[in-house]
Structure 1
Amino acid sequence: MSESPVADEQPLATDGQARRANKGGRKPLSCLACRRHKLKCDRRVPCGTCTRFRREKFCRLNPAPPRPGRPRGSGDTAAQGDAASPEGAYTVDASVREPIACADASAGVGLALRNSQLAAAETSDVPSFFRALGLDANTTSVPVSSLAQLLAEIQRANQPSLLWNMMEGDANRRYWETQLRSALPSRSMCDLMVNYYLDHINWIFQITHVPSFRRQYDDFWDARDSREMDFMFTALLFTIISVSALFIPPVTAEIFGCPKESVRDLVHVWHKVSHQALRAGDYESKPCIVQLQTFSITQFYWYSTNKIDTLNSRLGQAVRTAQTLGLDKDLSPSQTLHDEMRHRIWWDLVDSDTFQSICLGRPPLIRLETPGVPLPLNCNDDDITDTFLRPRPDNEPTMMMLNIFRARFFKLMNNHICYGDPSGSDSYETICKLDEEVLNITRSYPWFFQLDQEGRPPPLPHPMGEIITWQNHIIRTCISTQRIRMYRPFISHRIGDSWAKCTEAAEDAMAVYRTLRRNKSSTSLQKFLPQAYQVFSVAVTVTALLLVEGSLPIPNVWQQIRNMADDLKILEDEGCVSPVASRGRQVLTRMLSLVDMGNNGAPVPEVTDDLVADIGFIFGGEEAAQTYLQRLASRNLRHSGRDASVPSTVSEQKATPTSMSSSAYSHSGFQNLAGHHGVVDASIVESAGYMVGPPQQQQHQPTNVYQMDLMMDDMVLQNMLNFDMTAMMADSRFE
């Protein structure tokens, strides 16, 4: 990577301005680039230093002055020939990717305009013009300081159409193709990231048909230099490797050529590049199915980085795209792969929209109608081809069963929110009726989603069994936390069976997780990492009940929640970019300390606004969280009015052991794997087509380097494409 420019250097100047500025002073002996970077210059055109740092074009624009009495040598001739050749005019070399952050863009405008007047459009210096506009690399906004100068120069040129046409057609496409390709890692690195996603993350939404995706993926690499880039597929690929980089063990990435300290930073780079690929493909005016797949997968990034506002903004755009494509009008059962993928994508949008509606207390963007779009089929991806579908019986485990039950649940909730009686939608009787319909869904679970008498899911052979168990956890936590939300307004006065329903749902929400924690496989750990938001939301929901109500009739509930909080620390230990995990663990620890204070008879401090803001999204809005937690005041009154000599009633005694050595719910499970987080997942490496030996055990050193503000401004993003990742991540070879 080239060195960054000196921050306090003077703005770029034309030759005339430079001569006037140096009149009476010391004559420069180096090219402008070497002067700015304070490097030695051999005064050639381009000079050796600029050639080394791939700034040849910038050096040719601002060369070193010729030696007195000595004409410019062959370097000039080469430079002139380079500028006159069509290939040189359209080739975007690495100098374009060199961000000149502190340079005034107006200087480059004059050069671009002068070139445009001397040559036709096909020989115009497109990269220089993009840089002059402030569009170098990924930046898409014109710097305010240069806008007036830019417009004035364009008016003086009397050829504005020629200049703007540089940003259209083949020139624009080639520019972005070059930029996007430069951001790709090596093929082996990309294989690793894709395989990690398909093995450990894809099963959550199952929005990608794996066999057809792999065919497109192979075609992408095999023909990437011989035909035009498919910007939409490129966006999908970049968001997949971005999400994988969120969670993949850094030591595994290091084997394939990526420095382990860099893989988490590349998360944000690849995420931004994915959106840039969508823009290069003009996704707003040319909607397609692939951009909806890209949205669905990018949700992992937004949830992990706690960018819920961004998620909702993009969700609205995705819903409009789906309606433009007519996904809401597909009323016929699937007959082909194309039909089935449209149905999967539509119901994934319904799930996301209805879930956000519940969490934010807003009306859904999608109002489901009857008859509606058919639910996805109970098929594995291998059961679907371009022309053939083979649905399986409902009692046969498949990867799609989670999505089918999730769609049934959110279809019911969508109907209740959109079409329920507004006058009685919040009454206890209405909630009981809705809950009965919810329970009818849970009662129809197939045998592999049922629990035995000890609350354990049935054992199944791996790898399908591991995935099915995690899917069982997801559907139960999704439904159970919503049931608690429904009954929470009624438990203060213990109306009807509201308290019993809440405790029943709380137990069901944590049941499968206990089993998963006992699974010590590294593959199960990798499937845990993308579940940080799910684990956090369950833990907060149950902890709030314990805090306000004083106790829960669930054995070792305090310790179970403590274990969830400790498990979230694994993401920090792994260096995962997940503020929801790091911040969530702090929130849970704080709430558990408040629980301890109440159990020990001390008055619980009033809940602060920052805590309400942290858990408001889980409660269905900050107002709902504030209303429920205000009941702590009445609990404090009960404590202060109690005679200290009289023992507490059974219901108010400390019913949740705080011993950290509880035999039933100790730190077995995922926490035991924290010391082994550096171990390479051999299945991932083998699936990428490489055989490697086990690496040396990596000693972990906790770090807070990733607990940072994840907002990246345009100036930082200018560094995004400042180096060739393909060169950095050279293909590794293993015997």
Structure 2
Amino acid sequence: MSTVPLDPPAKKRRRPALACEQCRRRKVRCDRASPCNHCSKSSTLEQCTYVPIHVPKQKRALPPGPATTVGPVSILPAPAPTPPHSQCSTGNFLPVPTSSSTPVTVSESGVSDVHALGQRFEGVALATGQTSSSTSERIVGQAIEAVNTTDSIPKTRYYGRSHWMNGLSLLPAGFENLVNPKSTTSNLHSLLSQCKILGRRIKESRLQSTSSTNPLDVPRSTADSFLEHYVSNFEPVFPILHIPSFKADYDRYWNDPNQVSTVFRVQLQLVLALGSCLFDDTFTFRNRASRWVNEAQLWLLTPPEKSRMTIPGIQIMILLTLARSVCGAGQDTVWVLTGLLLRTAMYMGLHRDPSKIGDGEMTVFRAEMRRRLWLSILELNLQSAYDAGGAPLISSDDYDTLPPADLDDNSLTNEPGDSTLGGRADGGSTRLSAALALAHSLPLRLKILRHANDFRARDSYSETLRLNSELVQACHQLSKTLERLSCSPSRAITQFYASLAELLAYRCFHTLHQPVIMRLMSDPKYYFSQKMYIDGALKIAHISGLDWAQGTNENNETRPSPMTALHTKDIAANERLSPSNDNRNDAQTSGNNTKTLQMPCSPASSLMVPECS
């Protein structure tokens, strides 16, 4: 009887290690995050690293073809926990940090995906003998594109075409140093990881002290300074409160805190939080302001929700939205809160003009306060959508509320009067004049934001040029109006109001031209968009008080934002990546033949608000 040789037992494949190297060394359970829970709480701030997932050799072989051809490469997902109820959808996605109050940055899981894909592209490039400089730009560009189109990354967020993250493709070398943990030219990745760990600890310490509204723990002299900073800097552009009534309740609070309602205490905390950010250059009251903002957020979420649908309740929602943006307390998710604010206001009928509600016999005070609140809601909704790269979710056809009248707060009375004063002025300039001058461009800026973030708009450059022409005219008119108001005898409009209003308008040039600026690499006709992009950045730098010649601040009225300065410098440096001068001249000649490309004046050199003698 012959024996049939048995097949050798199949070699068992070793299970890949999913825990990080640090947890495996400590022999503790790892949650597979990046960084994991134990590494985040480690006092040594060591990095959380994972062993690369093993891939069989036959799966890593290059596809047949010419030596210069690179086949499709799939992204190896970084070890990360998958939420039990997570859902994935197709779109332009990148992961977000766990904490809602973390500034908008490239998250750890997104960094791992880009790095893994970059390593595989780099290996292929070295095999084909390509140069290191061209390989670096191609690696990061293809990595960003691949991550943006991935639809299976957990903890995702949709970044619209106008989001600043999409501008990273303009800086391939800098982005590679930021996301590559093994970079030999920079330690940015290590510093970024340490900053994130420290940031999470700071936020945890702030949340531990959050409770219901507590008495103020600042002396009245400091609170008076906070209140004055708020009234002088925020109310002229975002009219929210009736200042005489608020100051009367403010005095009653200091006489006896029990004489005022909880609603006023929440309003007061938010007002002081906003004023504290301008108290000094270092924002020494940041922790206290964050606690006040968190307490207001907690109060807003407590039931019943219908009790918040009042004028004081909507004022708290507006103040909370503004405070989260200014104080850095979860500003990356303000667009979500603004959506709730917008729908709550529409549920209360603020989108309808007071003259068309009921019998039209609303008092001047109520009618004008409703118009002011709606104007502030529209502006905040627009600015948060710009920051988030999202659609405004409203158009000028969805409301008929008139702009508020240019009246002082003392002119608003509770006596029955003419409720159709909206849009009319008393002949002079008031504290509200800057907001009204900016409000004229609201419909246009809504159109620009909707056009820039329309994912169906692929070949609509003619519409971009048309909107650019209208935006240049609107900015020119805004600057002329602000110049006239700032030089009026009443001097109700200061340089700060004018600069803030111009800043909110000029940022639209970045939103409008960012989706098409990268096409310049293949088609020189888009050079006009890059020119407007750079001119807008230089104008914003000028408004922020950034002196390019000396690198110092000329005045103390405004401080240049670090992110604004960084973006401006990077955009100007990107001029090196433009096509040849001959192609630029051809593009400009083509633009001169089109009337929509004609600019009345350059945004970088004119439309300034001069100082009045």
TM-score (norm 1): 0.42
Q: Which has the higher contact order (CA 8 A, sep 6+)?
A: 1
Bigger radius of gyration among the two: 1
Give the structure with the larger helix fraction: 1
TM-score (norm 2): 0.49
